[in-house]
Structure 1
């Protein structure tokens, strides 16, 4: 039997939503058959005929993150263990592992989905991957996508002692990096590190074509600031370790769900109902995943999904991720979110050079600290305080700090040695670090 992933759907191969649904349901039966081989789904699917349509699938209960944790490590496995290519765990599990694993064929789909960037990836690109590699999917995903399209990949793990910010900037400049993948905050820190090294972010990196970002909330104001700093587009990605890339941006700035590679539903936890669009929690059924099939997996991310037409012509649903910006703290009668504050901070004029900030929500006042040069400090403090009062309706104390306070200068410039473990020391050496190489 031919592996269906040898002819994965490609953008532009469908004409309208009915065509797209035919693509989904053509693959769904294979997906359900794979799932029936795993211990977890075998129990759920043994009471009758296997679901053959999206409507049939809707009769199954949702799969939850707790289900994955309860079946750690291999209770979701649907292939012989020797067929696995990689094993991963998601972040933020607080000591309760959320496992995820893939075959080599699964990785073809994973890499292709991540590489769906409107700006393109090719053998002409040098691609800096600046997200964690250890256990998480994110770094490996970008690495595989870059190699799939022939790019030279620079594995710049952002949790490695071997890759301080000064080295990141040197690599970006000297290797003529054209594409990067990171959380948005990294792009701001690189700009500060570039300046500390005597470079101009928007002028001295002419090979740079785009900054790929994901993994944390990003407001339009911060996106715009990063784009203007570097002089290139900032392209956002949405996904998870359990699923890989789920959505990406078109050239018109809208985030589209990869609905040719997965089924998507919107779940309302208040009513228990699901729909194809609207606001609620995103439920996903990856269609080309064999090692660990997921049927109706609830990501628990609050989203808004619509099927409005888009000028890009992809013919895919549009998603806005809401949940990651929703958590807030009370100040007086208002609930303040990071998303709201970030929008105000990065709406300050670029000339004020504010890149880094932090805030503390107290019962009756919002305390905000921003790094800002002396000459702009008074204006920045006054304008931010006024906008907080006008937009958020709360009192604030805005304190301007000297640059280098929140992000120390030495963090931008240090080039520490990468120490290897050893056991023999000289008479004047510190042997307290024997065997520990940090």
Structure 2
């Protein structure tokens, strides 16, 4: 099932030698071609010749989303514009989007990485890939599309939306692999139920889900409701798009980072010092081969840890733990750090609760208050008031036990909370911070 065995099973010593060679070349290129990076390195007192080992990576300055915005749209491109064959942009919610570019070789590398991702998740030549990631400026749709074609699978480029038609296509075209966000996968499960379609009557075998954090309990819910194996995949536009890391179908435990293309670090978000494998912190990436839009020590804001232990699938790349939250979507409620994924974990473990919720944060006087709106199943919602009250109290109690904060739980009827075809909006923060 390994797509590129030569590189994916490299001994660690050989892999690190390859990484160093590629890193040194990349730093020389960036220093010569991108004035902004050259100035940042000068401010940090570092030259390309100072990078003599992988440990010297820490001498280099970090790159942030703000750096990308300051250089909007093409200021960080490292090749002449005539060599750029594709431009994507992130779906940023504030300000201008972050713009990324690709050369022909970058597109080829991306297809290779997504073919690896699909193979890692159990897909193969002959599969019918139902690609419900969004096409357009978002990197998900086209990234998945090129990878599936490289793998030799047949691609249905259906994009998001029109869920009833999606399910009809799955039935008629014999889709075997589903690719979309985890929240949209649950949306499709809801629509199947409305249409009286039994998921086991479909040919779906595996789903590759990414673009938003999701919990282990949500995975179990998706697997149960769609009758497939749910694989977590990871990527971000600034680094490549999808195709940075993927769980393997054998273990479903940690996502193999394609380390011959991306050099990962975990750093302490407070001190910014690198942390060893096993320690939780902020995930940072340096691209080793990107031509048009290389990034050096890019701060993802995602919280994870690196797993160095060997995996039974045979891949030797480090794995990253599934994303548990982000430093920038972390809520600080009365001095307590709270991630939406922690609340999701509680909700998904309680019977009668649907996998659709909304967290609303307000400030009353000087006190932060948090309300969790969560859908419950139809039979629970139509039950007597005492049953609903008891369920609400149980959720409040379990959230307080896990997080140490009180919250108000509001149980709402099915299909009340707005569905998402892309990344789900889970938090509304009304505080004026």
Global fold match (TM > 0.5): yes
Which whole-Å CA distance do the structure 2 matches of 1:406 and 1:145 have between them?
A: 34
2:326 is aligned to: 324
Measured at CA, do residues 61 and 316 of structure 1 come closer, stay the same or move farther in structure 2, by a change above 3 Å?
same
Which whole-Å CA distance do the structure 1 matches of 2:300 and 2:344 have between them?
A: 25
Measured at CA, do residues 257 and 198 of structure 1 come closer, stay the same or move farther in structure 2, by a change above 3 Å?
same
User: Could you tell me which of 217, 229, 235 is aligned with 1:233?
Assistant: 229
Deviations 1:31-80 (A, max 9, x none): 22332323333445687454353234432212222222211222222222
2:76 is aligned to: 76
1:344 is aligned to: 346
Note the 1:355-394 alignment, pairs <5 A.
Answer: 355-361=355-361, 363=368, 366-374=371-379, 378=383, 379=387, 382-383=390-391, 385-393=393-401
**8 Å Cα contact 1:37-1:78 kept in structure 2:** yes
Which whole-Å CA distance do the structure 1 matches of 2:13 and 2:39 have between them?
A: 32
Note the 1:178-193 alignment, pairs <5 A.
Answer: 178-193=176-191
Which whole-Å CA distance do the structure 1 matches of 2:170 and 2:228 have between them?
A: 14
User: Could you tell me which of 191, 199, 204 is aligned with 2:201?
Assistant: 204
Measured at CA, do residues 392 and 41 of structure 1 come closer, stay the same or move farther in structure 2, by a change above 3 Å?
same
Which whole-Å CA distance do the structure 2 matches of 1:64 and 1:295 have between them?
A: 9
Deviations 1:283-327 (A, max 9, x none): 211111111222222223232223233333322222222333862
TM-score (norm 2): 0.81
**8 Å Cα contact 1:371-1:404 kept in structure 2:** no
User: Could you tell me which of 28, 37, 40 is aligned with 1:41?
Assistant: 37
**8 Å Cα contact 1:381-1:398 kept in structure 2:** no
Is 1:314 the equivalent of 2:325? Answer: no
The answer for unaligned runs of 5 or more in structure 1 is: 1-6, 413-438
1:156 is aligned to: 158
**RMSD of aligned Cα (Å):** 2.9
Measured at CA, do residues 176 and 334 of structure 1 come closer, stay the same or move farther in structure 2, by a change above 3 Å?
same
**8 Å Cα contact 2:268-2:281 kept in structure 1:** yes
Which whole-Å CA distance do the structure 2 matches of 1:374 and 1:42 have between them?
A: 62
1:302 is aligned to: 303
Which whole-Å CA distance do the structure 2 matches of 1:42 and 1:334 have between them?
A: 39
Which whole-Å CA distance do the structure 2 matches of 1:324 and 1:300 have between them?
A: 5
Which whole-Å CA distance do the structure 2 matches of 1:367 and 1:62 have between them?
A: 36
The count of aligned residue pairs is 393
1:218 is aligned to: 214
Which whole-Å CA distance do the structure 2 matches of 1:303 and 1:375 have between them?
A: 36
Which whole-Å CA distance do the structure 1 matches of 2:227 and 2:408 have between them?
A: 33
Which whole-Å CA distance do the structure 2 matches of 1:308 and 1:196 have between them?
A: 44
**8 Å Cα contact 2:392-2:410 kept in structure 1:** no
The answer for unaligned runs of 5 or more in structure 2 is: 363-367, 422-433
